[in-house]
């Protein structure tokens, strides 16, 4: 549904919601005719919950479209992932826990090697050690250019993030990486008249970076790409009057949650510790997002059995979530990651939504095949949140 419509219907209530996201939850059979990871897993708690829930399959972006983590989570948070894009630079910045503001344009950076004539000899500067990356980004951090403050943070090896913070910054910028050796780094061009000031700022940064790196044998220049502006989403507070909190182990997911105005909550690294964090913060927030990473990383590793175990590990925690007596508990994923593909995929993702008046359908198990016969056999990813809000009594009637 349109955010403007939802905003106009939002009403206060004393209800609490939990959105439990098993990253990459959807799977596929290991061998023809076999079960998916979720079907192979023993999930007595999720199955019992599914029988009391309304169920279905989420099409996160659209048929055949494989969502990245950014669009996947934006959709689960109720935003249209086709309308609100999260560029590479922003995702990279969120991934290392940087806090971005609406004034920011972020870029992915590489240290590279240029020869005496200024031509690129190695686009990755011989993959310098992460320690050297930390030392060199410290040299570049705080470079001052007209119109922007520059914030530079290391990622790993030759990779870093550069953020240009200023009221006139814009992300319609060409990249500096010519993508092959023997060419000079390209100057940044404004791809839109509104980006002229930003192009000037970035080019000034690159020139100064070259001066500060001149003594380096390998990492003596930088390449920038994936310029992306902060998406400036309306927050859950602005849209629905909610005070949401987010529990996740990896910084990127906390960063995505922060874009929606969720407060990142401290947690230990295990799934059980995430539920302990949930218990500890339950009273302080009316909406919780709890993110489990393992279901995705095991799928990415192509490890069917490990993904099954990860799902079972989450299942074992479900009673703790129910003990909190959430008014709405929704369980799903941000995309599928079948271990057979070792990657994100386009397959719809099962979900269940439990609430006192959810009106359960006939689904008796939490699995891809069962949920595909639920009431919401095919629901747009962004439409799960309105269902959560409705079941929490947070949306009033449309029209008289």
Please tell me whether residue 346 binds its own copies under the rule CB under 8 A: yes
The helix (run of H) or strand (run of E) holding residue 254 is helix 251-259
Please tell me whether residue 386 binds its own copies under the rule CB under 8 A: yes
Residue entry with tokens 């999930």: 43
The answer to whether 165 touches 187, Cβ cutoff 8 Å, is no
Please tell me whether residue 63 binds its own copies under the rule CB under 8 A: yes
- Which region, judged by CB under 8 A, interacts with its own copies, from 162-170, 196-204, 314-322, 386-394? 386-394
- From the number of C-beta atoms within 10 Å of its C-beta (0-12, 13-18, 19+), residue 142 rates as exposed
Q: Which is nearer to its own copies, 236 or 376 (CB)?
A: 376
Using CA of residue 79, residue 80, residue 83, residue 87, what is the dihedral sign?
A: positive
Q: How far is the CB of 51 from its own copies (least distance, A)?
A: 9
Please tell me whether residue 323 binds its own copies under the rule CB under 8 A: no
Q: How far is the CB of 209 from its own copies (least distance, A)?
A: 24
Q: Which is nearer to its own copies, 170 or 347 (CB)?
A: 347
Residue list 252-311, contact with its own copies (CB under 8 A) = none
190, β-bridge pairs: 173
Among 7, 42, 52, 156, binds its own copies (CB under 8 A): 52
State both tokens at 131: 């320690």
**Cβ neighbours around 319 below 10 Å, total:** 12
Residue list 84-123, contact with its own copies (CB under 8 A) = 85-86, 88, 91-92
Please tell me whether residue 36 binds its own copies under the rule CB under 8 A: yes
Residue list 355-384, contact with its own copies (CB under 8 A) = 357, 359-362, 368-369, 372-380, 383-384
Using CA of residue 58, residue 60, residue 64, residue 70, what is the dihedral sign?
A: negative
Among 41, 340, 349, 352, binds its own copies (CB under 8 A): 340
Please tell me whether residue 398 binds its own copies under the rule CB under 8 A: yes
Please tell me whether residue 70 binds its own copies under the rule CB under 8 A: yes
Q: Which is nearer to its own copies, 149 or 372 (CB)?
A: 372
The answer to whether 146 touches 201, Cβ cutoff 8 Å, is yes
Between helix 44-51 and helix 304-315 the angle, nearest 10°, is: 60
Distance of CA 296 to the CA centre of its chain: 12
Q: How far is the CB of 112 from its own copies (least distance, A)?
A: 21
- Of the candidates 116, 113, 187, 104, the one whose C-alpha atom is nearest the C-alpha of residue 149 is 104
Q: How far is the CB of 245 from its own copies (least distance, A)?
A: 22
Q: How far is the CB of 73 from its own copies (least distance, A)?
A: 10
The answer to whether 76 touches 259, Cβ cutoff 8 Å, is no
Q: How far is the CB of 204 from its own copies (least distance, A)?
A: 27
State the Cα–Cα distance between residues 95 and 90, nearest whole angstrom.
8
Strand 120-122 to strand 104-114: parallel, antiparallel, or no bridges (unpaired)?
A: antiparallel
- Which region, judged by CB under 8 A, interacts with its own copies, from 59-67, 99-107, 212-220, 305-313? 59-67
379, β-bridge pairs: 58
Q: How far is the CB of 215 from its own copies (least distance, A)?
A: 34
- Which region, judged by CB under 8 A, interacts with its own copies, from 158-166, 285-293, 303-311, 389-397? 389-397
Please tell me whether residue 237 binds its own copies under the rule CB under 8 A: no
Please tell me whether residue 66 binds its own copies under the rule CB under 8 A: yes
Q: Would you call 143 helix, strand, or coil by DSSP?
A: coil
Q: Would you call 301 helix, strand, or coil by DSSP?
A: coil
Among 24, 67, 109, 326, binds its own copies (CB under 8 A): 67
């Amino acid at each position: 549904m349109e955010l403007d419509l939802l905003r106009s219907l939002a009403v206060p209530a004393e209800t609490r919601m939990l959105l439990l996201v098993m990253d990459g939850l959807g799977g596929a059979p290991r061998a023809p005719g076999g079960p998916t990871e979720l079907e192979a897993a023993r999930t007595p708690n999720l199955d019992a919950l599914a029988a009391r829930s309304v169920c279905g399959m989420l099409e996160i972006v659209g048929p055949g479209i494989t969502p990245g983590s950014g669009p996947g989570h934006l959709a689960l948070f109720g935003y249209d992932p086709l309308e609100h894009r999260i560029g590479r630079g922003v995702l990279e910045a969120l991934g290392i826990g940087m806090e971005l503001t609406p004034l920011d344009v972020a870029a992915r950076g590489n240290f590279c090697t240029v020869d005496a004539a200024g031509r690129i000899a190695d686009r990755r500067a011989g993959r310098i050690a992460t320690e050297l990356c930390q030392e060199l980004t410290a040299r570049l951090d705080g470079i001052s250019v007209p119109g922007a403050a520059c914030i530079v943070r290391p990622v790993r090896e030759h990779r870093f993030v550069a953020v240009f913070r200023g009221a006139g910054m814009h992300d319609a910028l060409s990249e500096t990486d010519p993508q092959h050796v023997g060419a000079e780094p390209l100057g940044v061009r404004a791809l839109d008249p509104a980006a002229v000031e930003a192009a000037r700022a970035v080019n000034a940064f690159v020139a100064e970076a070259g001066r500060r790196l001149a003594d380096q044998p390998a990492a003596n220049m930088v390449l920038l790409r994936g310029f992306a502006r902060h998406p400036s989403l309306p927050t859950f507070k602005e849209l629905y009057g909610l005070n949401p909190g987010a529990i996740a182990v990896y910084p990127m997911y906390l960063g995505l949650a922060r874009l929606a105005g969720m407060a990142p909550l401290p947690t230990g690294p295990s799934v059980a510790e995430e539920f302990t964090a949930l218990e500890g913060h339950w009273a302080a927030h009316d909406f919780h997002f709890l993110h489990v990473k393992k279901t995705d990383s095991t799928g990415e590793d192509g490890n069917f059995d490990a993904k099954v175990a990860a799902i079972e590990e989450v299942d074992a925690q479900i009673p703790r979530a129910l003990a909190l007596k959430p008014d709405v508990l929704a369980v799903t994923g941000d995309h599928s990651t079948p271990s057979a593909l070792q990657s994100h995929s386009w397959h719809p993702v099962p979900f269940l939504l439990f609430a006192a008046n959810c009106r359960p359908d006939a689904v008796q198990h939490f699995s891809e095949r069962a949920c595909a016969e639920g009431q919401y056999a095919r629901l747009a990813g962004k439409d799960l949140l309105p269902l959560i809000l409705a079941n929490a009594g947070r949306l009033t009637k449309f029209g008289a």
